[in-house]
Amino acid sequence: MADAEAKKRQQMEYMAVGILIVIALLIGVSRFKKKDRDDEVFSRKVFNEKWKEVEALEEAVPKKEFAVNYGGEPDETPFKSPMDEKKNAVLEKQEDVFLPTLHVQGMVWNSRRPQAIINGAIYNINDTIILEGTEGEIIVRDVLKDGIHLRYMGRSFMVKPKIEVNTIEVQ
C-alpha cells in the first residue's frame, strides 16, 4: 500500500512539473511573439528608409578613379625623408665644441638623489653649471659609476673624476 501511495505521489509531482514547463513555454512564446510585421528590432519599413539614404550616398561617389603619378625630378627619391636634409644642415653647421675645464672632485651614484661635486659645488641631475667667461650652459644629465654625463651646446660629454692617491709613510 505504501508503494502505491508513493507511486501516486510521484505521478502527481511529474504532472505538476509538466504543467509548470508548459506554462513557462506559453509565457516565453507570448513574450517573444511578433504582434505586427513592423514590430521588429529593425523593421522592413526602417530598412527601406535607410536603404534610400545609402543609394543617395552611392550616387555621390565618383565612378572613375584618378591615377596618381609621381612627377618628381629623376634624381629625387620618393622615399627620402625630409628629416635627412635637416640632419645634414645641422651637422654642417655644428663646429667642434670643447667642454670648459672642470674640476670634478667627487660623485654619488646609485642613490635616490645622485650628485656630483664640480668646482667645489654640489650639483644634482638636471642642474645647470654656469661658468664665468663661457657661453652656454653645462647641464648635468646623469651621474653613473662610469662618470658624469654632461650636455654643453647641444653635445654630450662624459667626465670622470681624477683619482688622487695620497700616500702615507709608515715608519
Instruction: Provide the pLDDT for residue 19.
Output: 97
Last residue of a domain, one of 80, 112, 138: 80
Weakest-pLDDT range from 18-27, 71-80, 116-125: 71-80
Q: Classify residue 13 as exposed, middle or buried by CB count within 10 Å of its CB (0-12, 13-18, 19+).
A: exposed
What are the Cα distances from residue 86, in Å, to 74, 83, 92, 93, 169?
A: 22, 5, 10, 11, 61
| Average pLDDT score over residue span 109-114 | 89
Instruction: Provide the pLDDT for residue 39.
Output: 59
**Cell numbers representing residue 55 in the block:** 543609394
When divided into structural domains, the chain yields a total of: 2
Is the sign of the CA dihedral 138, 142, 148, 151 positive or negative? negative
Q: Are both 5 and 76 inside the same structural domain? A: yes
Give the C-alpha separation, 171 to 114, whole Å. Answer: 40
Q: Are both 49 and 111 inside the same structural domain? A: no
Q: Are both 2 and 56 inside the same structural domain? A: yes
In-domain check, residue 85: no
Examine the pLDDT at 91 and tell me if it is beyond 60.
no
Examine the pLDDT at 10 and tell me if it is beyond 80.
yes
8: domain range?
A: 1-80
Residues 157/150, Cβ–Cβ less than 8 Å = yes
Examine the pLDDT at 55 and tell me if it is beyond 70.
yes
Q: How far apart are the first and last CA of the chain?
A: 121
% of the chain residues with pLDDT over 90:
23
